[in-house]
Amino acid sequence: MYLKGKKIALVIDKNFEDSEAVYPYFRLIEEGAEVIIAGPLKATIINGKWGYPLKSDIAIEELKATDFDGVIVPGGYAPDLLRRYPHLLNFVHEIFNQGKLVASICHGPWVLISAKILSGKRVTCVPAIKDDVINAGASYFDEEVVVDGNLVTSRNPFDLPAFMKAIITFLGKK
């Protein structure tokens, strides 16, 4: 139970990339962390891009940075919806400023861009949004995982093992 006592927010909306939410969810639970799924509404079934259903534990509006050790933003089409929630952007910004884990994969960095935390950072993402992260002031690297302080990013589902290893390592040091 390497991460016993850690509490992580996993934020999703409709059409999240199934594997990028489910793999971190179960992997963190396996390590002893508490994973709270946050969605637009509390206690609602949200289907991934490929149909995998996850049930939200809390509404995005209920997120408080002081209650969590980190946040994970999976990719898929959901980040384009998630970046429209001012409360979520403030939550991610606060988590980042507190030095807690901010992890994102695939299209997830869209949320980080809108939270205004990428300027001067080293990141990776799906190539389709490479220009977006560069325009936000980040340096893009085509690597399976990039860690810059408390920021952990990956490109796609094939990078999930490296992504989770970096997340677990970061959380284990805190």
Active site residues: 107
Residue 61 burial (C-beta neighbours within 10 Å; 0-12, 13-18, 19+): middle
